[in-house]
């Protein structure tokens, strides 16, 4: 696979770029359809409700706080006692006044008030008696309206004579609705509320109102609209639909001042009051357009930021990786002298860590390679030396083999050369013995010559045989023959020469006939050697011969109950000229019989060994290859 060093950076930039482009396209598409169709309408309606909720919640917080304060005032025990007592305890009155003064100052309402239902006395500010409310005075009518309608709380606009301004009063009924003892409340400076309206108004042309359940506008930034009724501004069915509806939110298209407006209305929490907003449809479209354009700008900004970030990422991550990849390639090309940039190694982050590890790996590698090179050079030297030693050894071996061959040839020749005169000596000794029939002494001498000559000839024959086998002249002559028969023949040969107290046992006599492929003469010679030794070293007891087949071999065993062989001697008896017993009455051999047997077994592809215990007897084993046919 071809290595692409820039793929991380490219894929990062490509993915982010693609994502940003798709976002722009998607936004463009949405914008396109939103401006023209139903999506647009849905968007601005959602926007409308969001705006309205913002106003409603701020207003609600302010009003609920005011209602809460008014309720605390209405439920105040000292004030209640004061308003219900025929003769007020001055202490109680003082406590009530202090508490109410505290509320006035701490909470910052421009005015607080309480009106006694039984005396119609009106207290305001620091609860000094100010006036007596009368039913005739239209300014005081809110008090009677509140008491009569027995509403728990009302909102009311009125002009405050002291502060000389219009206020939004929050009136709360004192006592139970069945037996009201008065009205208490706070005045809210409408400018505070109007400021909230102004702050959140979505467009200049929007109108935002707080209306009561009769459609009366209680609050508006346009003071001339305050106390006007919605019935005067919109079609009757629009307003009655708005007021009668128990729905929390209402959005509908209306005609307002001969233009198309969207009207949205929302109930103020659990109260009867509503926030109503009207906004020209064109302004709404403008708002949505602004949102769309802002979104596009935002997308462009994100796109630019993405490119900047991906470039920085590329600089910080993919370039160092590219650098390390390049170094890796150089290492692969066996160029180990390319150092990692210091700037990278000094970095205190994952890349720095990687660079450090890479650098130490490179150094380690270079060290290992130089060690390997040295070891290689040493090996090369050793190889040259070995080659020359090998050559010397070969020459030495050739020389040794040559000299061994020469020795063996010499032995064979000498033996042969000795055998020829020996034969004539033996012949003449025999003739001499025949001629010296009457002279006992000379006859005895010639007998000694014949006996020793025979021994010498036997030794010579053995030496010649060993030499022949060593020089590879003796080759096996393989034929197929029955083993049982061969053993019986050998045993038969010895049966006449065996002493009376040695029992010769042929364990294969009645055994099933077994045929093998081997050299019949060599096998006979081996068996004869072993049997003759067994008889020779057994003064009384048994000499037994047997065989058995074991997988691909045939195992022969010649056992006796003779003198046995010590463990130490067992290791040497197969060496030429090795004799254990020096008793010449037993041993007339030259210590070559077992050595010759071993060589013959090996020529036939087998092995020979002994197991023996001195005084108990010996077991001689040898194997020959055997293929079942």
Binding site for ligand ADP (CB under 6 A): 533-534, 537, 560, 562-563, 565, 573, 578-581, 587, 589-595, 618
Q: At closest approach, how far in Å is the CB of 524 from ligand ADP?
A: 16
Find the helix or strand (DSSP H, E) in which 310 lies.
helix 281-313
**3-class SS of residue 131:** strand
Q: At closest approach, how far in Å is the CB of 480 from ligand ADP?
A: 29
Instruction: Please state, in angstroms and rounded to a whole number, the distance separating the CA atoms of residues 84 and 471.
Output: 153
Secondary structure E strands in 120-224:
121-124, 128-132, 153-160, 165-176, 179-188, 207-211, 217-220
Calculate the dihedral angle through the C-alpha atoms of 524, 530, 534, 535, rounding to the nearest 10 degrees. Answer: 30
Q: At closest approach, how far in Å is the CB of 564 from ligand ADP?
A: 6
Instruction: Please state, in angstroms and rounded to a whole number, the distance separating the CA atoms of residues 327 and 339.
Output: 8
Instruction: Please state, in angstroms and rounded to a whole number, the distance separating the CA atoms of residues 347 and 16.
Output: 27
Q: At closest approach, how far in Å is the CB of 578 from ligand ADP?
A: 6
* First and final C-alpha spacing in the chain: 62
Between 188 and 592, whose beta carbon lies closer to ligand ADP? 592
Check if the beta carbon of residue 565 is closer than 8 Å to that of residue 581: no
Between 12 and 580, whose beta carbon lies closer to ligand ADP? 580
Q: At closest approach, how far in Å is the CB of 493 from ligand ADP?
A: 17
Between 226 and 463, whose beta carbon lies closer to ligand ADP? 463
Beta bridge partners of 504: 543
Those residues whose C-beta lies under 8 Å from the C-beta of residue 629, and which sit 6 or more positions away, are 515
Q: Where on the phi/psi map is residue 526: left (φ > 0), alpha (ψ -120 to 50), or beta?
A: alpha
Between 321 and 535, whose beta carbon lies closer to ligand ADP? 535
Beta bridge partners of 175: 180
Those residues whose C-beta lies under 8 Å from the C-beta of residue 505, and which sit 6 or more positions away, are 542, 543, 544, 545
Q: At closest approach, how far in Å is the CB of 490 from ligand ADP?
A: 15
Q: At closest approach, how far in Å is the CB of 613 from ligand ADP?
A: 11
Q: At closest approach, how far in Å is the CB of 598 from ligand ADP?
A: 9
β-pairing, 541-550 vs 502-506, is parallel
Q: At closest approach, how far in Å is the CB of 579 from ligand ADP?
A: 3
Between 589 and 606, whose beta carbon lies closer to ligand ADP? 589
Q: At closest approach, how far in Å is the CB of 457 from ligand ADP?
A: 14
Between 319 and 546, whose beta carbon lies closer to ligand ADP? 546
β-pairing, 608-613 vs 541-550, is unpaired
Between 467 and 534, whose beta carbon lies closer to ligand ADP? 534
Between 430 and 587, whose beta carbon lies closer to ligand ADP? 587
In the complex, residue closest to ligand ADP by CB: 589
Those residues whose C-beta lies under 8 Å from the C-beta of residue 324, and which sit 6 or more positions away, are 340, 344, 354, 355, 358
Instruction: Please state, in angstroms and rounded to a whole number, the distance separating the CA atoms of residues 405 and 409.
Output: 6
Q: At closest approach, how far in Å is the CB of 569 from ligand ADP?
A: 7
Instruction: Please state, in angstroms and rounded to a whole number, the distance separating the CA atoms of residues 305 and 29.
Output: 23
Between 67 and 595, whose beta carbon lies closer to ligand ADP? 595
286-310 burial code (b ≥16 CB/10 A, e <16): ebbeeebeebeeebeeebeebeeeb
Between 175 and 591, whose beta carbon lies closer to ligand ADP? 591
Those residues whose C-beta lies under 8 Å from the C-beta of residue 599, and which sit 6 or more positions away, are 466, 469, 470
Between 214 and 575, whose beta carbon lies closer to ligand ADP? 575
Q: At closest approach, how far in Å is the CB of 580 from ligand ADP?
A: 3
Check if the beta carbon of residue 502 is closer than 8 Å to that of residue 562: no
Q: At closest approach, how far in Å is the CB of 581 from ligand ADP?
A: 4
Check if the beta carbon of residue 56 is closer than 8 Å to that of residue 268: yes
Q: What would the two tokens of residue 268 be?
A: 């103020």
Q: At closest approach, how far in Å is the CB of 546 from ligand ADP?
A: 15
Between 140 and 560, whose beta carbon lies closer to ligand ADP? 560
Between 182 and 593, whose beta carbon lies closer to ligand ADP? 593
Find the helix or strand (DSSP H, E) in which 329 lies.
helix 319-332
Check if the beta carbon of residue 489 is closer than 8 Å to that of residue 524: yes
Q: Which residue has the tokens 């409340």?
A: 185
Between 202 and 562, whose beta carbon lies closer to ligand ADP? 562
């Amino acid at each position: 696979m071809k290595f692409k060093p820039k793929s991380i950076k490219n894929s990062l930039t490509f993915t982010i770029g693609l994502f940003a482009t798709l976002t722009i396209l998607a936004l463009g598409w949405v914008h396109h359809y939103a401006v023209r169709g139903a999506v647009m309408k849905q968007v601005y309606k959602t926007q409308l409700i969001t705006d309205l909720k913002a106003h409603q919640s701020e207003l609600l917080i302010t009003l609920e706080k005011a209602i809460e304060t008014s309720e605390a005032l209405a439920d105040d025990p000292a004030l209640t006692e004061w308003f219900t007592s025929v003769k007020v305890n001055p202490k109680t009155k003082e406590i009530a006044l202090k508490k109410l003064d505290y509320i006035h100052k701490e909470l910052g309402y421009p005015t607080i008030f309480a009106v006694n239902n039984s005396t119609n006395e009106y207290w305001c500010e620091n609860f000094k008696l100010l006036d007596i409310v009368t039913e005739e005075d239209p300014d005081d009518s809110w008090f009677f309206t509140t008491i009569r309608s027995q509403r728990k709380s009302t909102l009311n606009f009125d002009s405050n004579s002291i502060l000389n301004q219009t206020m939004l009063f929050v009136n709360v009924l004192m006592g139970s609705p069945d037996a009201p003892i008065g009205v208490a409340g706070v005045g809210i400076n409408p400018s505070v509320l109007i400021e909230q309206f102004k702050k959140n108004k979505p467009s200049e042309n929007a109108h935002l109102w707080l209306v009561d359940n009769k459609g009366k506008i209680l609050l508006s930034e346009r003071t001339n609209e305050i106390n006007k009724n919605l019935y005067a501004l919109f079609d009757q069915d629009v307003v009655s639909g708005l007021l009668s509806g128990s729905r929390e939110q209402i959005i509908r298209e209306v005609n307002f001042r001969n233009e198309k407006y969207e009207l949205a209305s929302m109930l103020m929490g659990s109260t009867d009051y509503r926030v109503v907003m009207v906004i020209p449809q064109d302004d709404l479209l403008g708002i949505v357009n602004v949102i769309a354009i802002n979104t596009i700008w935002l997308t462009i900004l994100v796109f630019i930021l993405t490119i900047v970030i991906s470039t920085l990422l590329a600089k910080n991550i993919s370039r160092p990786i590219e650098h390390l990849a390049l170094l890796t390639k150089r290492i692969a090309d066996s160029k180990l002298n390319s150092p990692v940039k210091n700037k990278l190694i000094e970095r205190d982050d994952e890349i720095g860590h990687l660079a450090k590890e890479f650098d130490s790996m490179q150094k380690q590698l270079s060290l290992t390679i130089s060690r390997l090179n040295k070891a290689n050079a040493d090996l090369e030297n050793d190889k040259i030396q070995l080659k020359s030693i090998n050559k010397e050894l070969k020459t030495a071996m050739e020389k040794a083999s040559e000299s061994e061959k020469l020795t063996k040839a010499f032995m064979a020749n000498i033996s042969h050369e000795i055998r020829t005169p020996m034969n004539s000596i033996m012949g003449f000794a025999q003739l001499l013995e025949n001629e010296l029939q009457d002279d006992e002494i000379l006859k005895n001498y010639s007998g000694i010559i014949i006996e020793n000559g025979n021994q010498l000839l036997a030794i010579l024959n053995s030496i010649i045989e060993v030499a022949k086998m060593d020089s590879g002249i003796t080759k096996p002559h393989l034929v197929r023959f029955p083993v049982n028969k061969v053993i019986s023949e050998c045993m038969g040969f010895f049966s006449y020469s065996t002493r009376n107290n040695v029992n010769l046992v042929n364990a294969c006599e009645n055994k099933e006939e077994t045929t093998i492929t081997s050299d019949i003469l060599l096998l006979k010679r081996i068996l004869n050697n072993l049997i003759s030794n067994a008889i020779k070293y057994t003064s009384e007891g048994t000499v037994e011969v047997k065989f058995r087949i074991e997988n691909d071999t045939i195992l022969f065993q010649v056992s006796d109950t003779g003198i046995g062989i010590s463990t130490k001697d067992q290791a040497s008896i197969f060496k030429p000229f090795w004799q254990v017993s020096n008793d010449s009455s037993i041993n007339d051999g030259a210590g070559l019989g077992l050595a010759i047997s071993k060589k013959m077994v090996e020529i036939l592809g087998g092995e020979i060994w002994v197991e023996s215990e001195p005084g108990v007897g010996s077991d001689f084993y040898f194997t020959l290859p055997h293929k079942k046919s």
